[in-house]
Structure 1
């Protein structure tokens, strides 16, 4: 028991016992009261007061940690609910957002207000927990209210007692609703989507209270998740509104009535599968059966996402080249054997390609028209997958940032590991870190790609300055970097430079791998290898060395310039001779055997090199610089893809 016995005064041991039994602050206060009533001395009371104060602080800290964990779990659940509601309707997504906001804050009331223009009025479009019919449709036409302040400033606003707060600009219209609902405490956070702030999300209590920073931050995170999901839900709903047009396309594609009815039923089935969230495999099977042929869906990196039927063994080069042709033309392009490759796009962005081989060859120039209809259904499915990734992306991004800088995380390490496990990132699985830097193009488009790519690969992503960081399951960093490069560079239409490191197990090593990959990226930049891929294993000691070198080309030119110019102009092999000479322990005779020339020829070449570099080139200091410059020159040439120039004639 945590209470002291009647025979003795409460002591520090009783405080520790109460703490071990997970007692409350009220029980700690009872120990102090007990001690005072039993006549404890001032010294005993002072020690007991200090002990109970420390114990109460530990209880508060534990309660705060539990609240943070519960909030994080609630946000993950909210992202799933929003993704599911998105498939139904925009209004259903709005309703889910307010329901989740009310549950997150344990509030009496939650509501969402959106605006049609930046300077336009706010209109309450969804509400949860309201007791009157005055809230839905309320228009906030002036600069009054917390929501308008959140919209104008782009920051959260809260008050413990709305009607009594004179710092808020009040209006009769809003105050009437507040009185009718009995609202006292209110918090409003910006509703920020990809296009900027579009409204405000509110939480309200019918008693006076203050909102904690954790409550305000969690409501802001929920608002960002909901804004991204609602934007996608609107696009999906817009695509669904074109169903009649797509059905007319089906009717025109199949001329006879019997075929039309069959394809109309198949297309209805496709749309039902998409809106029910069926896997892509099921959608492709229905499409291939209806089209009477074999069909496969590939992503932008050439990975096959789903297939049905037997397709010929096309070369990867053929599929990649013709796939880019289809994406550039915006319509199907034919292959030599009667197959077609059609582009899959959504929201103005390329999503992948569809490879289709009909059982009966098609003679048109733009591909079978039914194929276009099936491709639209496949695009809807891929858009849904991307939307799910975006809805969960914020939580996954926060986890990656915490793993990259655990010392600044608000959560202890064991909670980060638990969160990673819930998101499918197990500490026992090998992983690699890839950093990609687009050399131009739209970073926003690259960030959207990274979110979708990390979702498909069951990894994490982070956007830092002008680079994208990916944590991906796998045991080959170079292969992971090349796969990302193959997909991202064509999407952006610009070179992409990538550094990668790994593999590793154990989440504490994420930050170290990130630093290694960043050093590889820096080394590639200094070597002039823009658009290339490198890992620490490929660069060797250069990866560490080049992090501090300012300009590799100028360094090589300053050390070996005359020799390289002589080789270029006169087709000599002085640079090669120097490499072999140093590798042979500076022995002309051994170098001659490696080069398959006479020792006198080596001696004459060294004399000529002395004329080019000066008399002191064989001093220890100059020798080290020359050997380093030779190594840098050879590695840079490899990165740039230059083969050694065959010598036209042997110079001396």
Structure 2
């Protein structure tokens, strides 16, 4: 065949192939366009984001013959996460977070342009993330194509297609996937917008339902409060009020006074720890609402203003709603009104407890009979000995402390009042120090803060309370000055300082508190420990010189000092203790010189020591030569 004819045939074949290729490309484009139209129609009827994304990834696999396709959506912090995946063989792809700066998709999101690789794991054009590489390796992927999902100039995510073999993507394939992403992005954003609107509508409906329920609850609460007011005005009893409230609250209600006595109730509630109840009362008074005493019991502070505060207890197994807590508060207020009405005659006949104690402390000129009448009417016995306590809470909780003081004095049949930042308590007591420690300890536990207490007494008769109050105040000031805040003491506890602070300057009591054991021992055993101790201090704390002064052997002085240590304690030679002992010795000698024979009279330190320090009968060692 001639060469010219052969060249013509080659050109004809080439043209035929070009025509075939062009026709095939047109056919694929037409097929792609038809698929895109079909995909658009499918996505148009999807109002669920998951269905929409599943459709987009499924069509991407079908159109471009991908082994796997997935969609990532952007996060507010700049990263993204895989929302939907099709064709995966492991569960690790969906939910995978694609950190900012890593992976193929990061460049697509940043540049908003398509990007592909024929072998992802070996491509060094982008930063690799170990987490992403692990998923790619576990899925066996090599070729990956990513196109941006863009809406209104904003990239909301990326559409990926991948093959498990190495593959070079043609421009038509890249263009087709990008067209699919361009149609999917508005639908995705619109669906997400609809979901946000639906979520906002659901939230608004929920809030509307909540507000409607609140309104119904408030209307119900208002109706119950009106019924409570009507019962009070109609003269309803405490039991009637609690019965009505019990029907609304569906639990057990018990009203108790400050002494723990049940005034009315619809059932039985076991008694709780008194300190815990007082702490709950203080908290309830502070916030003006019931507080949880246990998981199933609530306590409400009930105050009438004319007597110590009581407590309204409510018990049921299920928690209380906000409206039910308000109802419990209203019930407490109504019971207080009923009690106030019941005690109005008594309240009008006499002053409040605080005013009575203020009158006693101010020593106002009033007929003794009238004062005794007032005290007896408040439940006190004026013939009993009383201690006066001045209490200073170190924390800023004056209101809670006042509530506690009302309850405490009511329980102990005493009186209280407030003086500045301090509370003044008048309590029946045989020992002022014990009363101060008991009151201070309980209030400290209730408040959770230290409490300083100065005490004086025991006072007998109403006329001595003003002086006792001044002495207790001086003891409190002394504790504060000595840096002993949080302590409790009377003049007797402060040693020679207490002797100076006391109005009576009771030297006998001071001598008794320091030397009582030795005086009692010398009296019973006819020993000479007091004189030995005096000689010991006179000789500069030298046993040898003391023995010369006493005309006895040094061993005798040593044995006597051992016995003194047994009686006074091992710390008697410490400077502070030694100072008090020497002062007591000096007062003892001065008193004996001024009043000879004092140690033989009834009621002297020796007699008091025998009563306070029994059992000191051990025989003294025989003196040395």
TM-score by length of 1: 0.35
TM-score by length of 2: 0.36
State the structure with more CA Rg.
Answer: 2
